[in-house]
């Protein structure tokens, strides 16, 4: 007859249940617990495997959706994704190349634009020089329209005095504009003397308008009497010689001191 005895022992708040069969072999309860844990672990592994399979299936579905295709298997989906990735890398490389080309063309555009503006300025300068050469006899010649000085509204005597004041003070553009107002107006005939014409010629020579200078030198000789003509003739010839040399663009052989300007009253 089998005799079974169960001993219940309590030690330090822990229960240790042992059982004894008729062969007298004892099996601790913690081994039973270990077996139960192993069984639970096996069950958990089975659950994890099922979860992993579910995750893999969901990954496959998501991968297929992202790839934009209906792949028959995960391998096909991965292959399709790799192809798309290669295409994206090619597009990115092409984008970088196009961007570099854009920067290069942009720099070239700004260089050409700068060159274009420089050529426009040079063209305007050439046209201005040609216009000046045609109207003044010099590329750098000043024309009356290029002088911004506004001549005051004075009578003939006042303009005459003002013109010579400008000459003495070396305000050459102002003097030229004042002489133009004085010598071009019929109302100022009383003050349009040979001295005024000669001095106006010298002023326009200073502004490199050689055509006006010659014009006023000729008028000075025409308007002068015999005594004045003798005084002006040698000086005007010297100025005309200087004008011819300038117009021919030859090395100037002008005397070191120009014939002095006849001042008011001399």
Boundaries of domain holding 55? 5-66
Over residues 150-159, the pLDDT tens digits come to 999 888 899 9
Mean pLDDT confidence for 83-101 = 89
Whether the pLDDT of residue 74 is over 90: the answer is no
Spatial separation of the C-alpha atoms in residues 264 and 266, rounded to whole Å:
6
Q: For residue 56, what pLDDT is reported?
A: 56
Over residues 20-71, the pLDDT tens digits come to 444 444 455 555 556 656 655 655 555 455 545 555 555 555 655 555 555 5
Give the rounded percent of residues in the chain with a pLDDT score beyond 90: 22
Whether the pLDDT of residue 203 is over 90: the answer is yes
Neighbour tally for 223: CB within 10 Å? 17
**Which residue, 247, 250, 245, 249, is CA-closest to 258?**
245
Does 258 map to a domain?
A: no
Q: For residue 110, what pLDDT is reported?
A: 93
Q: What angle do CA 142, 231, 195 make, to 5 degrees?
A: 45
3-state secondary structure of 259: coil
Using 50, 70 and 90 to split pLDDT, how confident is the model at 10? very low
Spatial separation of the C-alpha atoms in residues 99 and 91, rounded to whole Å:
12
Whether the pLDDT of residue 195 is over 60: the answer is yes
Q: Which long-range contacts (CB under 8 A, 24 or more apart) does 72-77 make?
A: none
Using 50, 70 and 90 to split pLDDT, how confident is the model at 126? confident
Spatial separation of the C-alpha atoms in residues 175 and 181, rounded to whole Å:
10
Number of domains in the chain: 3
Query: What single DSSP character describes residue 209?
Result: -
Residues contacting 187, CB < 8 A, separation 6+: 156
Residues contacting 19, CB < 8 A, separation 6+: 4, 6, 26, 27
- Kindly report the average pLDDT of the chain as a whole number: 73
Whether the pLDDT of residue 204 is over 80: the answer is yes
Contact indicator for 68, 74 with CB cutoff of 8 Å = no
User: What are the residues facing 6 on neighbouring strands?
Assistant: 19
Does 148 map to a domain?
A: yes
Whether the pLDDT of residue 249 is over 70: the answer is no
Q: Based on the fold, state whether residues 125 and 176 are members of the same structural domain.
A: no
Whether the pLDDT of residue 109 is over 80: the answer is yes
List the structure tokens of 19: 């059982």
3-state secondary structure of 6: strand
Which one is predicted more confidently, 19 or 223?
223
Neighbour tally for 178: CB within 10 Å? 28
Q: Based on the fold, state whether residues 60 and 21 are members of the same structural domain.
A: yes
Q: Based on the fold, state whether residues 150 and 240 are members of the same structural domain.
A: yes
Does 252 map to a domain?
A: no
Single residue among 13, 32, 66 that ends a domain in this structure: 66
Using 50, 70 and 90 to split pLDDT, how confident is the model at 163? very high
Single residue among 85, 119, 136 that ends a domain in this structure: 136
Distance of CA 38 to the CA centre of its chain: 78
């Amino acid at each position: 007859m089998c005799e079974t005895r169960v001993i219940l022992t309590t030690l330090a708040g822990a229960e240790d249940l042992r059982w004894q069969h008729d062969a007298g072999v004892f099996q601790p309860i913690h081994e039973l617990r270990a077996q139960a844990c192993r069984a639970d672990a096996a069950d958990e592994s089975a659950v994890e495997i099922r979860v992993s399979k579910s995750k893999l299936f969901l990954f496959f579905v998501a991968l297929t959706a992202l790839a934009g295709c209906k792949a028959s298997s995960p391998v096909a989906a991965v292959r399709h994704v790799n192809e798309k990735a290669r295409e994206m890398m090619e597009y990115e490389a092409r984008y970088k190349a196009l961007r570099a080309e854009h920067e290069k063309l942009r720099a070239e555009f700004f260089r050409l634009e700068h060159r274009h503006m420089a050529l426009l300025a040079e063209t305007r300068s050439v046209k201005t020089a040609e216009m000046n050469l045609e109207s003044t006899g010099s590329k750098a010649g000043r024309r009356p329209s290029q002088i911004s000085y506004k001549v005051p509204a004075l009578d003939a005597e006042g303009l005459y005095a003002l013109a010579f004041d400008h000459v003495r003070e070396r305000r050459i553009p102002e003097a030229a504009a004042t002489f133009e107002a004085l010598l071009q107006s019929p109302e100022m005939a009383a003050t349009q003397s040979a001295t005024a014409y000669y001095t106006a010629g010298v002023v326009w020579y200073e502004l490199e308008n050689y055509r006006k200078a010659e014009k006023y030198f000729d008028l000075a000789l025409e308007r002068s009497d015999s005594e004045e003509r003798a005084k002006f003739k040698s000086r005007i010839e010297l100025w005309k010689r200087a004008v011819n040399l300038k117009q021919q663009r030859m090395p100037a052989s002008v005397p070191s001191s120009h014939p002095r300007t006849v001042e008011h009253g001399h």
